Chain A
Amino acid sequence: MKLNELTIVAALEGLKKRRFSAVELTQACLDQIKRVDPKVKAFITVCEAEALAAAKKADLELKQSSTKPLLGIPVAIKDNFCTRGVKTTASSKVLENYIPVYDATVVAKLKQAGVVILGKTNMDAWAHGSSTETSDFFTTLNPWDIKRLPGGSSGGSAAAVVADQTIFAIGSETAGSIRQPAAWCGVVGLKPTYGRVSRYGVIAMASSTDSPGPICKTATDAALVLQVLAGQDPLDATTSPNQVSDYSKLNLPKKLKIGIPKEYFLSGMSKAVVTVVKQAIESLKKAGAEIKIVSLLDPKYSVAVYTIIQRSEVSSNLARYDGIRYGNSRQSFGNEAKNRMMLGVYTLSSGYYDQYYNKAQKVRTLICQDFDRVFKQVDLLLAPTSPTPALLLGASAKSPMFGELQDILVEASSMAGLPGINLPCGFSKTGLPIGMQLIGPQFSEALLLQVGHQYQQLTDWHQRKPKIVISN
């Protein structure tokens, strides 16, 4: 096995036992980036010199038996996280030359934990989309089939992980932007509870739902990363004061009750997705879980609620970009950003506020109550993550609500601030990965990660690799 193919757990052990150095591990990732990124196009910026310097420093600290939890581990970071001294564009022309003078809290915490930053990954511009096709620079391609999309908005991060260009990656999710690309690329993606991980220094999309989180090769790796990221931050007043759980603890409830929301098996959904997710339900049942069919609000409502709230918050967040203090002028905004700002301005404007924004916030209450009710009956929910496996390039141009409709199965949980995890659970006949999601009550990340880990002991879907990684 090549070093860049390792999980965090395996890489940490190898470093500790001096089987290889952090420089060798980092070099293996940089070599893989050089080999496959011309085809996959996951990275906007690769920081080769900085990465090797950080790895060298990590090797010195390793010799001194440092206890930093991710010491020497390479990571790729979505390009909407501010990185001091490293260009941060959010894949937008407005910020094409923006060099932050500070680190996002997530980045600062990762650096304190000892990571090696390999570079910044492509995304939909401002995170507006589910394909990376709205990136103002280029589209990332799905490593399983380069005629297909990786999903988004954290598409570059998910593609880089499955193509073994990095040991893990960081993404952010407003509604689907971690889970959906993780599903389409066949990796683990965890969207934490809203407020569990700081948004400080993340270029804002919808401030009431934005949630940074890890994209990894296994659930155990995601637990290690969340342990580093989670916690209250004085720089983000919406972070929770709740105590951070121990995410590596593996004691499951005696009789785990899993709810299957029948409304989440949509008519018109890909048959492969239904078949594969039902097989996953069967394997969890065989492993001892109790399966219960439950009912939730039709997800079509959450699409509308999310669209209104997201557009409204976008119009406010993007209003600050004036090209005076940094960045280019407002003329540089792309089509999708303009569309979203205008819709948000409209739904917030006098005369339409009650009809759209206030109505959406009320339905949001109904969505929260709906989940509260169902979590009295079951410990967590299991459903497909996306209605289809990865779609072909060009798919996003067909609808101004492409992303919203792709993300129909993740929007309700995002609006309620719930944590969710995508787990690879099989493949279509044409060899495209399919993902299922587990959704739990607020702050139940430990349970989701534990169940995810158990599932990955029963199956090896997460260990399959695309041809692009193995051949040439």
Chain B
Amino acid sequence: MAEKTQLTKKQVLHIAKLANLQLTSQEVVKFQKQLADVLDYMEVLNELDTAKVKPTSQVTGLENVFRQDKVEKSLSQKEALSGAKAKQEAYFKTKAIFE
């Protein structure tokens, strides 16, 4: 068994940033341990030799499924906006991204 996986607080905060999540300081400590425990379990895969094996991402063998590029019936503007908390005229309203 390899050494136990260790994640630093900095790493946890970096991962959280990539996932667009804000963590409290308690959550950082909790995830440091939880994530490392799960990663440790993954080590079991190193027992299998996969040097000559191709990866599988689609199991039923379909590839390149196309359709005609033609406009189909879609949602009305009113429907599309019906779940938004903030809207203005026919637009979703968000916080400013640029300063």
- 8 Å CB contacts to A: which residues of B23-53? 23, 27, 30-31, 34-35, 37-39, 41-42, 44-48, 50, 53
The answer to whether A365 touches B44, judged by C-beta atoms less than 8 angstroms apart, is no
The interface residues of chain B lying within 8 Å CB-to-CB of A113 are none
B60 and A417 contact, CB distance less than 8 A: yes
Given contacts A342-B15, A400-B37, contact A365 B53 (CB under 8 A): yes
Q: Interface code A290-324, partner B: CB below 8 Å = 1, 0 otherwise?
A: 00000000001101110110010001000100011
Whether B59 pairs with A324 at a CB distance below 8 angstroms is no
* Separation of A272 and B30 alpha carbons in the complex (Å): 36
> Would you call B55 and A361 a contact (CB within 8 A)?
yes
Is the pair B21, A338 in contact by a Cβ cutoff of 8 Å?
yes
Q: List, in ascending order, chain B residues with CB within 8 A of A307's CB.
A: 38, 41-42
Task: Judge whether A455 is part of the interface by a CB distance below 8 angstroms.
Answer: no
Contact A240 B85 (CB under 8 A): no
Contact B83 A327 (CB under 8 A): yes
Which residue of the partner chain A has the closest CB to B82?
A: A101
A442 to B57, CA, bound (A): 16
Does A363 lie within 8 Å of B45, measured CB to CB? yes
Query: How many residues on the A side are at the interface (Cβ–Cβ under 8 A)?
Result: 57
Taken together as a complex, chains A and B put the C-alpha atoms of A234 and B66 apart, in Å, by: 10
| Complex Cα spacing A453 to B19, Å | 46
Q: Mark A340-379, 1 if CB is under 8 A from B, else 0.
A: 0111111001000000101111111110100000000000
* B42 and A368 within 8 A (CB): no
Which residues of the partner chain A approach B55 to less than 8 Å between Cβ atoms? 358, 361-362, 364-365
- Residue positions of B touching A, CB distance < 8 A: 12, 15-16, 18-23, 27, 30-31, 34-35, 37-39, 41-42, 44-48, 50, 53-60, 62, 65, 67, 75, 79-80, 82-85, 92, 94
Q: Which 5 A-B pairs have the closest CB atoms?
A: A326-B83, A361-B55, A417-B59, A362-B50, A237-B65
